[in-house]
Amino acid sequence: MSASPRSVARGANLLRAGKLVAFPTETVYGLGADATNDLAVAALFAAKGRPANNPLIVHLAHVADAKRLVRFDPLSQRAADTFWPGPLTLVLPLLADSGISRLVSPNRQTLAVRIPSHNLARELIETAGIPVAAPSANMSGRVSPTNADHVIADLNGRADAVIDAGACPCGLESTVFRSTGRGLELLRPGALSAEIIEERLGIKLVIDPSPTEVVSPGQMAVHYSPRSRVRMNAVSELDGEVLLGFGLHGPTGELNLSPKGDLNEAAARFYSLLRAADEFALRIGGATIAVSPIPESGLGKAINDRLRRASCQPLS
């Protein structure tokens, strides 16, 4: 369905009826389900082929709605006040009477919550009037979708509806934090850069360099993978490689994340071009995707994080 008040109303009705609706956010497209409905949440895990132990983010229209589900400490409250609505996800203690399905965050006392800034997402959630569990609208382990065609390429026949509002402006998933006694711990770098968070909140983020347990399954090594092999920090392409460029050193044609070397532009185009490079590489007989060096600053950290996971090993 193309974006309109009618499609928002239809999408909201479908969500309330326990169906799965894909919708755009400022980060990536999400596949939404009623977070209070066990059957809907189970169907969501099945549609994506997602391991049942990987918890979902619950999306809300207002901070007051989040407060009915989780307990905010002063620092997370300040982060929420500063960055919501927007691409920030907070993992907080789940309240006992939240009404959220146990399947959303299995075997955990926490819940990830986020208030997206994309107008269509907020209208849909507000109209539905329920908390909406929404992982990225791709098959589990694959590249996240940043437009409706990507969603359909992965989930055709598996979602009940897709609302198409064009490309997502940020293009990378939200930044995920959990609140610990020591401060805010970064679980997943994302569309809101660590530098901006530290600067605006006047704090230093806690980054555990060697987590002893997988706190957030999104931290698992193999994730966000194209089907082709990926080689990072490629100064030039070798035989049998397709080059995905960045800046002046990259190719001048289509496959350059940002010819002018702008990391925000690169982030917005990243998943789309990774898909395009993947398709090209497969078409020419299983080439490797070589990616130009991406600076490890600002959104470059989140892009490199996704590339490190993608280069770990191909899925098939």
Contact residues for Mg ion (CB under 5 A)?
136
Q: Using CA atoms, how far apart are residues 65 and 10, in angstroms rounded to an integer?
A: 22
Cα 300 to chain centroid, rounded: 16
Point out which span in 22-30, 75-83, 197-205, 273-281 binds ligand TXA (CB under 6 A). 22-30
Calculate the alpha carbon distances from 262 to 239, 242, 295 in Å.
Answer: 28, 21, 10
Q: Which of 171, 162, 170, 67 is nearest to 115 (CA)?
A: 67
54 sits near ligand TXA (criterion: CB under 6 A) = yes
Binding positions for ligand TXA, 120-139, rule CB under 6 A: 134-136
Residue 135 or 250: which CB sits closer to ligand TXA?
Answer: 135
Binding positions for ligand TXA, 191-230, rule CB under 6 A: 215-218
Up-side HSE of residue 23: CA atoms within 13 Å toward CB? 31
Binding positions for ligand TXA, 64-93, rule CB under 6 A: 89, 91
Residue 178 or 228: which CB sits closer to ligand TXA?
Answer: 178
Residues 6+ apart with CB under 8 A from 9: 127
146 sits near ligand TXA (criterion: CB under 6 A) = no
Residue 82 or 110: which CB sits closer to ligand TXA?
Answer: 110
Residues 6+ apart with CB under 8 A from 115: 59, 60, 61, 62, 63, 66, 80, 84, 85, 86, 122
The minimum distance between CB 248 and ligand TXA, in angstroms, equals 30
Q: Which of 171, 222, 211 is nearest to 192 (CA)?
A: 171
- Taking CB atoms, the residue at the shortest distance from ligand TXA is 218
Q: Using CA atoms, how far apart are residues 113 and 104, in angstroms rounded to an integer?
A: 11
27 sits near ligand TXA (criterion: CB under 6 A) = yes
Residue 217 or 286: which CB sits closer to ligand TXA?
Answer: 217
Whether residue 116 is preceded by a cis peptide bond, meaning omega within 30 degrees of 0, is no
55 sits near ligand TXA (criterion: CB under 6 A) = yes
176 sits near ligand TXA (criterion: CB under 6 A) = yes
The minimum distance between CB 225 and Mg ion, in angstroms, equals 11
The minimum distance between CB 225 and ligand TXA, in angstroms, equals 13
The dihedral sign for the CA sequence 301, 30, 60, 211? negative
> Which residues form the interface with ligand TXA (CB under 6 A)?
25, 27-28, 30, 54-57, 89, 91, 105, 108, 110-112, 114, 134-136, 173-174, 176, 187-188, 215-218
